[in-house]
Copies of this chain bind each other. A is one copy, B any other.
Amino acid sequence: MGVSNRTYTLRNCAFAVDYSHVEGPTNIVVEDGFIKHVGKEVEGDELECSEYVVMPGLVNAHTHSAMTVLRGVFDDGELHEWLARMWDEERKLTREIMAVGSEIAVIEMISSGTTAFVDMYFNPDQIRDISTQYGIRARAGPTLMKDKSVDETVRELRALGESEFFRPIVNVHSLYATDLQKLRELRDNLNRGYHLHIHLSETREEVFQIKRRYGMFPVELIHREGLTERVHGVHLGWITSWELNYLRSSIAVTHCPTSNMKLATGGAFPMKEALTQGLNVTIGTDGAASNNSLNMFQEMKMAVLLQRHNYWSTGITAVDVFRASSVNGYKMLGIRGGEIRPGYVADLVLLSKYEVYPLTKERLLSHLVYNPPKEVEKVIIQGKIVYQKNDFRDRLKKLLEKLSLYL
């Protein structure tokens, strides 16, 4: 490969494409983990890229990685029925099997072009270690639910530490699975700088339960509790139009189209209005028990399709969902990434140009969303090549052997 140097060039890329522009052929100079030049410059080691299309890595804004273990275990229940079953299944999971599940998920995500993910589960310390080992960016943290104290949550959070790739966040399962009192205590115990990741307005049942209990809709309640600026709210299929305004200063909102459809929540994430109001819209696969894939290319396609179906309009386009899955995802993480421009982090995905066709500058972004390649060729994170096609096959077989002992 010859890219051991801290400076190298992806030379002669057939195209470089991000949500806002397509260039090609072009060189991309990477230095110390960041894009230094895009154009004619060549510096340091060289990697011949004439057979590749280069795009930014994708950010999976919401998943439960260890749930690969529960993939396919129960597909035919609506959300609250499904959740009850999952909670039963989860009581049986050991830490060992969660580590296997999350590592499988990380392999699936990296090998399908995902360079960062936000996780909610019971094994944030394992996520820290696995993400650091694979060199994929991750956010995870303790999950506040009914059976967990605030003290315990805060202690766990502080013990997590951070690495080049990992930063801890606060997970709150949902308003319905947490006491408001606990949420307040948690808020009062933490500094302002935390990232609060929460399932929000996912079902009608949730919305009406919260309204009945607190006299307010979920997002309205989050706003009243002064949590807006910390919130990363997920699903929002049942958010009211007038609540959207409350999320303008939130970290991000995440659309999980496949999960919502599979669990028949009937929700309609209002992407058009969210974009108009300037919310930071991102996309997530959700976990492997409610999708059941962790492939962000497929999720982008699903998002644009579901939005068109709900609005009876083609107003949402490939550009919108690609932007949501790249630059908006990086914005949520507090990283300047998701575009192929000098100064942006070198989180890049290389695809075979023979798999995106008819290959023209005008059609390229369409292919990435509507007919992406079956596999990616290489993945670069923070300037480091962390994946090349067929990597991790033997490791995956070993993990599947471990998994089969558990089943």
15 pairs, CB–CB < 8 Å, chain A vs chain B:
A71-B358, A72-B362, A72-B363, A72-B364, A78-B313, A260-B309, A262-B304, A262-B305, A264-B311, A264-B312, A266-B312, A291-B371, A293-B370, A354-B400, A359-B404
* A348-364 interface bits toward B, Cβ cutoff 8 Å, 1 = contact, 0 = none: 00000010011110111
Copies of this chain, complex-wide, total: 2
- Chain A interface residues toward B at CB < 8 A: 68-69, 71-73, 75-78, 104, 258, 260-266, 288, 291-293, 298, 302, 304-306, 308-309, 311-314, 317-318, 354, 357-360, 362-364, 366-367, 370-371, 374-375, 393, 396-397, 400, 403-404, 407
A76 cross-chain contacts in B, Cβ below 8 A? 314, 317
User: Which of B68, B266, B366, B400 contacts A292 (CB under 8 A)?
Assistant: B366
**In the complex, which residue of chain B has the Cβ closest to the Cβ of A304?**
B262
Q: Is the CB of A292 within 8 A of B375?
A: no
A258 with B305: CB separation less than 8 A: yes
Return chain B residues, CB-CB under 8 Å to A71. 357-358, 363, 366-367, 370-371
Which of B75, B78, B367, B407 contacts A358, CB < 8 Å?
B407
**Contact between A72 and B367, CB atoms less than 8 A apart:** yes
Q: How far is the CB of A351 from chain B (nearest CB, A)?
A: 13
Evaluate contact between A359 and B312: CB separation under 8 angstroms.
Answer: no
Q: Is A75 in contact with B370, judged by CB distance below 8 angstroms?
A: yes
